[in-house]
């Protein structure tokens, strides 16, 4: 396992990777404030808020939905100095619309916008560094995902292995098409001619039967597995992403999915800050994680 959750106690995993080059670009931009988007339990919002506090950069967030005004994630963001505005879901859905972004740029000229989750070519560029740090000779690289940005970024590093993506949401097969589009955007942005995008896509598999009901949803067997995994290996997993991925990998090992001797690495993408909020949601069932991020 590549422990990217240990990069930093507050800005960890793929969120640090995605923010790295956005921060660099912000410093060149002449802007004064970072604005981004996310759900009420967003790892990205927590990481951006923490980064803002560390660097002294003011941060703002538009949060999806008005039904949650306080939870451990949003409270943490506010304590870091992030200004939060909860907006209706319909308005939130326009966050990637070119007209909406143009309006934002015109009305808020000093604001630097980072897309939801840190997606985009700069986020992908940071995620390519994950693979560049791996030793040679690995056969399979496994990663969880929600938008596919992390996997798309890793694919740009052109590491000669099979890549497996474990979607955290139902119907995750659509991510293969999304990743193909991200790679095309990356090639246009960085003029990566001859990168062999088609070959890389042929080495990507979507393992879509470990979503446990959908994004942010769990089942007792997942929580039991994560508690047992922590007791055995001392490694905390998060219930939205890495817990589901590791459940799938361990089941694959039990079912002899891979040939003996296959060298597999699982990317721990962090996300542990959300465990406290998840445990609050699970309290009624009595089936909670016995650790927090």
**Are both 152 and 266 inside the same structural domain?**
yes
> Does 115 have pLDDT greater than 60?
yes
**Are both 52 and 98 inside the same structural domain?**
yes
Of 141, 150, 208, nearest to 174 (Cα)? Answer: 208
Residue pair 68/42 in contact (Cβ under 8 Å)? The answer is: no
State the CATH number of the domain containing residue 77: 3.40.50.1100
The upper half-sphere exposure of residue 251, i.e. CA atoms within 13 Å in the direction of its Cβ, equals: 13
Residue 176 counted as domain residue: yes
Distance of CA 222 to the CA centre of its chain: 19
Burial class, 141, CB count within 10 angstroms (exposed 0-12 / middle 13-18 / buried 19+): buried
- What is the residue range of 15's domain? 8-118
The residue from 86, 102, 118 where one domain ends is: 118
pTM for this entry: 0.92
Q: Tell me: the pLDDT tens digits for 25-55?
A: 999 999 999 999 999 999 999 999 999 999 9
* % of the chain beyond a pLDDT of 90: 83
Of 136, 275, 121, 241, nearest to 192 (Cα)? Answer: 121
Q: What is the pLDDT of residue 177?
A: 93
Residue 291 counted as domain residue: no
Average pLDDT, rounded, for the chain: 93
Of 261, 267, 137, nearest to 253 (Cα)? Answer: 261
Residue 3 counted as domain residue: no
Q: What is the pLDDT of residue 178?
A: 93
Backbone φ and ψ of 9, nearest 5°: -65, -25
> Does 197 have pLDDT greater than 60?
no
């Amino acid at each position: 396992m590549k422990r990217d959750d240990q990069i930093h106690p507050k800005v960890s995993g793929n969120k640090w990777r995605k923010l790295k080059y956005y921060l660099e670009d912000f410093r060149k931009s002449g802007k004064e404030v970072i604005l981004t988007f996310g759900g009420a339990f967003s790892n990205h919002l927590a990481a951006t808020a923490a980064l803002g506090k560390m660097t002294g950069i003011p941060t703002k967030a538009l949060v999806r939905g008005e039904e949650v005004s306080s939870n451990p994630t949003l409270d943490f963001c506010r304590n870091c100095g992030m200004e939060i505005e909860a907006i209706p879901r319909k308005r939130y859905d326009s966050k990637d619309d070119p007209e909406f972004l143009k309006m934002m740029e015109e009305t808020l000229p000093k604001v630097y916008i980072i897309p939801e989750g840190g997606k985009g070519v700069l986020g992908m560029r940071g995620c390519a560094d994950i693979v560049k740090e791996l030793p040679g000779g690995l056969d399979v690289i496994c990663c969880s995902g929600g938008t596919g940005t992390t996997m798309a970024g890793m694919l740009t590093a052109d590491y000669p292995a099979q890549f497996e993506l474990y979607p955290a949401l139902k119907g995750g097969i659509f991510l293969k098409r999304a990743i193909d589009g991200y790679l095309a955007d990356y090639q246009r942005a960085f003029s990566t001619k001859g990168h062999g995008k088609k070959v890389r896509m042929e080495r990507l598999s979507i393992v879509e039967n470990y979503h446990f009901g959908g994004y942010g949803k769990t089942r007792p067997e997942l929580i039991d597995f994560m508690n047992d995994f922590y007791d055995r290996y001392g490694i905390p997993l998060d219930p939205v992403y890495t817990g589901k991925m590791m459940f799938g990998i361990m089941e694959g090992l039990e079912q002899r999915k891979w040939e003996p001797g296959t060298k597999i690495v699982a990317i721990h993408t962090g996300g542990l800050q959300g465990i406290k909020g998840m445990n609050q949601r699970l309290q009624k069932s009595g089936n909670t994680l016995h650790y927090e991020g």
